[in-house]
Amino acid sequence: MHGYEFYVDPSRCIGCQSCVKACEECDTHRGTSMVNFDFIDRGGTTASAAYVCWHCEEPTCAMACPTDAIKKGDDGIVQSSLKPRCIGCSNCVLACPFGIPKIFPEYEQMMKCDMCYDRTSVGKRPMCATVCPSQALSYVRPEEIAGRREKPTNVFQFGNQKIVTRVHMMVPAETDSVSLDVLDYMWEESYVAFAQPQ
């Protein structure tokens, strides 16, 4: 849908798994959910997180695919593997820094979220973001997101790999990108990087 973007905000997730159940109802892969859902540490907190595929600008899964089975469309959506090409080798599963692709042995194929291609291509919002009752998954216009307490980012740093994604993550208002590695926050590391130009 033109002008709409996808936003993920685990801080608003209530763990209801409506997205998981609704994804299962999608016409193209009925019975199988492509939403990644986790309780982070139920013993310690009610925190939970639901994720869809982040649809990277340069998809690591596609780069790691030995049979060129994973394609990104002009719309920026990274598709599930092409059935005739996929050999079920799991390279993509191991390579994706977000842990999104899954191998489905019953289909001998990698499948993942394609942002409800069948829905978005005909002007409908993705199923998960439509039903989500708590704004943890949203498919809205950027103007609408601007009113939130958090702000969106789509830049992620994994070690030396910088990933820019189609899907946005809601982060505290002062944050520009998301890095999960302590090294990226250490003075010594940035000093070393400067001292040794690549």
Kindly write out the interface string for residues 20-59 of this chain, putting x where it contacts another protein by CB under 8 A and - elsewhere. xxx-xx-x--xx----------xxxxxxx-----------
Question: How far apart are CB 150 and another protein at their closest, in Å?
Answer: 9
How near is the Cβ of 153 to another protein at its closest, in Å? 18
Is the Cβ–Cβ distance between 187 and 26 less than 8 Å?
no
Q: Of the listed pieces 66-74, 75-83, 108-116, 143-151, which binds another protein according to CB under 8 A?
A: 143-151
Closest to 10 in 3D by CA, of 36, 48, 42: 48
| Of positions 105, 147, 188, 198, contacts another protein by CB under 8 A | 147
Considering only the stretches 14-22, 53-61, 75-83, 178-186, report the one whose residues sit in contact with another protein under the rule CB under 8 A: 14-22
H or E element at residue 63: helix 60-64
Number of Cβ within 10 Å of residue 35's Cβ equals: 22
* Under rule CB under 8 A, residue 130 binds another protein: yes
Q: Which stretch binds another protein (CB under 8 A): 96-104, 142-150, 156-164, 179-187?
A: 142-150
CB 128 within 8 A of CB 167: no
Which CA distances in Å does 82 have to 12, 65, 86, 156, 193? 34, 11, 6, 27, 39
- E strand or H helix that includes residue 157: strand 151-158
Q: Which CB atom, from 11 or from 177, has the smaller least distance to another protein?
A: 11
62 binds another protein per the rule CB under 8 A: no
Q: How far is the CB of 79 from another protein (least distance, A)?
A: 18
**Contact between 88 and another protein per CB under 8 A:** no
Q: Are the CB atoms for 151 and 170 separated by under 8 Å?
A: yes
Contact between 163 and 97 (Cβ < 8 Å): yes
CB of 11 to another protein, least distance (A): 7
Of the candidates 168, 147, 177, the one whose C-alpha atom is nearest the C-alpha of residue 4 is 168
Q: Is 11 in the site for another protein (CB under 8 A)?
A: yes
- If binding is defined by CB under 8 A, does position 133 make contact with another protein? yes
Residues in contact with another protein by CB under 8 A are 11-18, 20-22, 24-25, 27, 30-31, 42-48, 125, 127, 130-135, 147-149
